[in-house]
Amino acid sequence: MSQGVIKIALAMAFAALLPSCFGAQVNTARPGGSVVLAYNFPRPTPTGTPEPKPSLTVGTVATGQGAVQVRGFHEPGDWAHRNYCGAGATQVLLSAWMSEVPDIETVAKASNLNPNKGEFGADATRAINQYVNPVAVPAFGQPRYKAEHITTLDEVKARIAQDIVDQQAIMTFGHGVPVMVQTMTKTMPGWNHWNATHMITIFAFDFSHNDPALDTVTYAETPSPLAGYRGPDFQTISVAALWVAMQAYIREFPADPMNVIS
């Protein structure tokens, strides 16, 4: 057996001990691809450092629909950053609020991220508010984001719709408010059934069908192939599929009950 195969086998065995975004799929180039909102996916720079992805401004496009302008980010594709999905999702969220988003190490430090395990929802919220509060508190009179334990689909949908088309935020800042949620990856596209805790930032929705099987959300994915993700930077899935992944998190990782940051 070659040393390369042995290393991969050891990595897969060790991965079972990790609760966060690490996966066992390695040595696979990360593809780009089209999604419902028609993003473009530029190639990485010649140095191998991915560029932030283009943003999209939609605003409120129709009754039951909405989107916030965000940018895409990539976590470094190495072992040390295998559990940085929380910091990556925070970067996406902050890109709605800031033209210059802090680098992933700075965000991870602010989030008390443990490279071996990831981060908790309450810590991610504190980091988000650290950056958003200077503009949000004068306008809203309080921190804009809070972490909550939400156990019904109707409540999740309400948070997504209220925040993304938040009229006060749009009138004050010119944009709505992205929402971060906690999931398990097993049933999510691009993860090839790998199961790990995961944070994503939702920035667009279409609830116009009033049917979870037809209604959709669009979110950003930041992990590398080494972390287990092998899909495009942005994914659109049904609300029903989102809820399956969120319920799995509530059931399988009760150590962190804060599953919605909005």
Question: Which carries the bigger pLDDT value, residue 44 or residue 197?
Answer: 197
Taking 60 as the threshold, does the pLDDT of residue 30 lie above it?
no
Taking 80 as the threshold, does the pLDDT of residue 221 lie above it?
yes
Mean pLDDT confidence for 134-141? 95
> Where does the pLDDT of residue 21 fall: very low under 50, low under 70, confident under 90, or very high at 90 and above?
low
- Please report the pLDDT score of residue 40 as a whole number: 31
- Please report the pLDDT score of residue 50 as a whole number: 38
DSSP string, the chain: --HHHHHHHHHHHHHTT--SS--S--S-PPPP---TT----PPPPTTS-PPPPPP---EEEETTEEE---------SSGGGTT-HHHHHHHHHHTTT-SSPPPHHHHHHHTT-BTTTB--HHHHHHHHHHHHHHHHHHHHSS-S--EE----HHHHHHHHHHHHT-HHHHHHHSS---EEEEEESTTSTTSTT---EEEEEEEEEE-TT--TTT-EEEEE----GGGT--S-SEEEEEHHHHHHHHHHHHHH-TT----EE-
Mean pLDDT confidence for 166-175? 95
Per-residue pLDDT tens over the stretch 85-135: 999 999 999 999 999 999 999 999 999 999 999 999 999 999 999 999 999
Taking 70 as the threshold, does the pLDDT of residue 1 lie above it?
no
> Where does the pLDDT of residue 82 fall: very low under 50, low under 70, confident under 90, or very high at 90 and above?
very high
- Please report the pLDDT score of residue 176 as a whole number: 96
Taking 90 as the threshold, does the pLDDT of residue 9 lie above it?
no
Per-residue pLDDT tens over the stretch 34-57: 233 333 333 233 333 334 444 444
- Please report the pLDDT score of residue 61 as a whole number: 42
Mean pLDDT confidence for 183-202? 97
Q: What is the mean pLDDT of the chain?
A: 82
Domains and CATH numbers, the chain: 3-261 (3.90.70)
Mean pLDDT confidence for 161-180? 96
